[in-house]
Structure 1
C-alpha cells in the first residue's frame, strides 16, 4: 500500500492543488524514472537512478520552453544554464541523477534529442544542450562505480507519463537523504485563477539536503523535538536539492528566473539555511508561448506574458508547492541501508510526524 502524502496524512498544507498534486498537472509535462537497485561486482550497493522531465512530452517538433535559473548555493551542477541565463530557453528533456553520472546522462539526453527530432537535426545545423542536474548519493549508493548507463537515462526519458507519479526512492532520488531521514523525489502543485484564467504551477524536487536539527514542518521545530538522533554519519550535510518549477502561465525568462528564486523560500520553510555543502539549484520553465526554434522561424516575434503586478499569488504558490514537495519526498521514502558509514537511513514516521504537528497546533 502506498504511503500517505502530506495532505492525506492530515497535515494542513496551504493552497489549492491540481488534480494529482504533481508537476504533471501542468498540461503536457511528463515525468519518467529509471530506478536502479543492484549489487555491484565489488559487493557494494547500487541504489541510484535517473529522473526525466519532458516539458513538451513526446511531440515531434522541437520547441523551446522559456526558462529561468537560480542557484541559492552553487555547490552542485545543472548543465545548460549558461544558455538559460542568456537565451532564456532550453529544448528537450530535463534530467536529474547523481553527482558522478551527469556526463553519461547528458550524453544520453543529447542522443535522444538528435534521434527524436531527427528530421530537424539532419536538415539544419542545430545543437543540443540538455539540462541535467545532480545531487550526491554516495552515503547510500556506490557513486564512484558510476553505474548509471546511457540505456538507463534513455529508459527514464522513454518511460515518461502524465498523471500520478511515484515519489520517494525512485529515479535520481533513490539514494538521497534529507534532514537525516531518507529523502528522494517529491512533487506537488498549485492551481491559481488569474484574471479569469486558470493556471497550474507544479514542482518536482530531488531532496538530499539539511541537518536533522534544522528540520521544521509548518513552523514546528520537528528536528529539535525528534527523540531519535540522526544516525551516525548523518549529523552533517553532504547533499543538495534540485527544484524544478513548471507552469502553463505565460511568463518571460526574467520572470521565470524570479520564480525560480522563490524555491529557496520554499525549502527554507523546511528549516535549511542553504548549507555550505548543499547545491541548492532551481529551474523554472513555462510551456506557454509554444513556437518553433528561433533558428527556424521569422525575425519578428510576439510573446504573451503576465503583468508583474499579479505575481504575489504566483510566488506564494511556488513557495507552498516547494515546501510540500519536499515533505512528500520524505513521507514516500523507505528505509535504506547505508554503506559509508554502515547503518540504516530511516524513513520518517508519518504518524509520529502528524502527532507532533497536531500537538503543536492544539
Structure 2
C-alpha cells in the first residue's frame, strides 16, 4: 500500500511510537523544557526545578503496568517529614471546573488546613486509594486514638490507556508511593498517577517546576506538580504549536485506532507548595494563579474537565496543632503577594510542558498515546524566535 505525502508524517510518527513502546517508562532520552531551550517566564528556578525545592516537600510514585491492559499508578505528595495530622499546614483548594472526584475538598475549604498527604491517581481508583491512605495514617505512631481523618485524593481519567474499570490501585501501591518519597529530583512523564494520562492528544503525565523569588520579594520558593490529562490547543511559550504539529487524532485514525482525547474532555490536578507564610485566604488567591499558567498552555477547560488546584504553605510558624485553642495565622498580604502569583503561574506552565516533554509513547488499553514529537515542536518554536540559545 502506498502512502500519500499527507499521511507519510503520521506513518513515520506511528513507527516511532511502536519502536519506543517497549521502553515507554524509560525517561532518560526525553528532555525537560529547559534542556531544549524552552524557558518560561523571568524568575529563576530552584536547584531541582521541582516542587521539592520547597524544603520538606516529598514526592513518591507507584507505577502499575501490565501489558497494554493496565497503565496507571499513584503519586503521593507530602508537605513535610513529620506527622501531618499533628502538624497540619494551611491549605486551600480552588475548583477551575468541577467535573471530578476530588475527595476531602469540603473539609479543606472549611478549615483551611491539610491533615494528610495528597494522593493523585486514576478516577475509579480514588476510593481505594483513600481507604489505603486512611489505613496507613491510622497505623502511624501517635495515631492510636484518632477517630476522624480526611484523606485528600485527586484524580484524572486514564481510561484511554488503562482498563480503568479494573480499579487496580490499592494498599500496595499507596504504601509504595509513601515509602519511596524523594525530597530532591522528581521523576516525570509516564510515571505514578501520570502513567496513563493524555494531554492534547499526546502522552501526558507528571510534571513539576519551581520558582525562587529574589530576596527583595521575600526570597520564598514556589513549587508546582501537575498530573496532565486535558484537552485544548497546545501552546508553548506563547506559540500556537498545535497549528504546525502533526495531528495525533489523524495519526490514530490512520492506524485504525480509537483517537486519543484531544480537544474535549479531560482533567488536570495541580499541586502548589510554598514556604512563604500564607493563610488559607492567601493560598486560595495563589491557587487561582495556577489556572493562569494552565490557560497559557492552551487549555479549553471543557465541560467534562476536572481542573483543580491544591495549594499549601510549609512555613513552620504557621503549622497548626489541632489541640491548640488559638491557631497561628500570619500571612503575606497585599502587594507582597504579587511575586508569588507570578511564580505560581510560571511554574505551573512549565510543569505542564515538562509533563508532556518527559513522557514517552505508551501503547495502552484502547489505543496509543504518542509522545510529543520534539523535532516539529522545536522547529515551530525556532520559527517564532521563542527558544533560548
What is the TM-score when the length of structure 1 is the normalising length?
0.92
Unmatched segments (≥5 aa) in structure 2: 1-27, 254-258
Whether 1:26 aligns to 2:45 is: no
The residue aligned with 1:108 is 132
Whether 1:89 aligns to 2:113 is: yes
* 1:192-219 C-alpha deviation (Å, 9 max, x unpaired): 13546421100000000013xx111111
Correspondence for 2:355 among 329, 333, 355: 329
* Shift in Å, 1:137: 0.5
Query: Aligned partners of 1:258, 1:345: CA distance in 2, in Å?
Result: 35
* Shift in Å, 1:302: 3.5
Whether 1:273 aligns to 2:300 is: yes
- Note the 1:233-248 alignment, pairs <5 A: 233-234=259-260, 235-248=262-275
The residue aligned with 1:179 is 200
* 1:83-122 C-alpha deviation (Å, 9 max, x unpaired): 1111000112100000000011101111121112x32x32
Whether 1:354 aligns to 2:378 is: yes
* 1:193-246 C-alpha deviation (Å, 9 max, x unpaired): 3546421100000000013xx111111111122133423422443320000000
- Note the 1:155-194 alignment, pairs <5 A: 155-194=176-215
Query: Aligned partners of 2:326, 2:159: CA distance in 1, in Å?
Result: 49
Check the 8 A contact 1:62/1:292 in 2, yes or no. Answer: no
Aligned length: 350
* Shift in Å, 1:303: 2.9
What is the TM-score when the length of structure 2 is the normalising length?
0.86
Query: Aligned partners of 2:322, 2:39: CA distance in 1, in Å?
Result: 48
Query: Aligned partners of 2:278, 2:151: CA distance in 1, in Å?
Result: 21
Correspondence for 1:122 among 127, 141, 144: 144
The residue aligned with 1:80 is 104
Over the aligned positions, Cα root-mean-square deviation in angstroms equals 1.8
Correspondence for 1:48 among 64, 67, 72: 72
The residue aligned with 2:225 is 204
Query: Aligned partners of 2:130, 2:277: CA distance in 1, in Å?
Result: 28
The residue aligned with 2:241 is 222
